[in-house]
Amino acid sequence: MREAAGGAPVRPAFIRPLGMLGVALVAVLWPVGALFALLSSLEDLAEWLLSSKERARARARARDDEERKKAIKAHALDQLFDGDWTAAAGQFLLRWYGHSSHPKRLLVLTPDRIVLAAPPKRVSVRQAERMVVVAEIPTSEARVEDPLLGIHPSDRLRIVFSDGSWLTVITDEERSEIHKHLMRRLRTVP
């Protein structure tokens, strides 16, 4: 046995049971806490990376929207018609709105004509859904086109009359059934 200075016997250090339990818990829980901190940092990194991709997508969408707006303006699709009230488009507009002032319209393409329908002249509750044919234009006098077809998705169509005058039609959705029909017809024409 060893002796301490002054001749007293030396004994091993005594660790109390609660102290020993604390050391054991720290030894076990500290790596778990470090793992959770690492996972949290990785989650923050993943969110940052995803948000940067989302920001890039948002910037690309904004660029596309800006280009689409420029194309609409360049093709004068932001105007109702060509401005000539004496041309076929202007006269058609005058007749069309004479039938009904309600803004809701229906445009239907058939193989030999363009059919336009509108609610009755005086619209009351639930009569807006009741459409009546207000105009039928033979395809020899006019055609429907999408000037932005294949360039940008758009909710705008144009009715072009045989005298060169035109009328812009705004659809409820960007890819309406008429847009899809025009796209299919474009693919089938060699």
Lowest mean pLDDT among 65-74, 135-144, 161-170, 181-190: 181-190
Average pLDDT over every residue of 167-175:
76
Does residue 6 have a pLDDT over 80? Answer: no
Model confidence at 2, pLDDT cuts 50, 70, 90, reads low
Residue in the block written with tokens 């109390």? 16
Model confidence at 55, pLDDT cuts 50, 70, 90, reads confident
Res 38: pLDDT: 92
Query: pTM to 2 decimals?
Result: 0.59
Give the model confidence (pLDDT) of 90-139 as tens digits: 888 887 777 766 667 777 888 888 888 877 766 556 655 677 787 888 98
Does residue 189 have a pLDDT over 60? Answer: no
CA distance 72 to 84: 20
Q: How far apart are the first and last CA of the chain?
A: 107
- Cα atoms in the 13 Å half-sphere on the side-chain side of 174: 10
Please give the structure tokens belonging to residue 153.
Answer: 């998705």
Model confidence at 156, pLDDT cuts 50, 70, 90, reads confident
Percent of the chain at pLDDT > 70 equals 78
Average pLDDT over every residue of 45-58:
80
Res 104: pLDDT: 74
Res 98: pLDDT: 72
Output the CA torsion 73→77→78→84 (10° steps).
110
Q: Quote the strand ranges of 61-174, DSSP E.
A: 106-109, 113-118, 132-138, 142-145, 156-161, 166-170
Res 163: pLDDT: 92
CA distance 171 to 17: 80
Could you tell me the maximum CA-CA distance found in the chain, to the nearest angstrom? 126
In Å, how far are 66, 93, 120, 143, 178 from 110, measured between CA atoms? 34, 20, 22, 11, 11
* List of residues 6+ apart from 5 with CB closer than 8 A: none
Average pLDDT over every residue of 32-37:
90
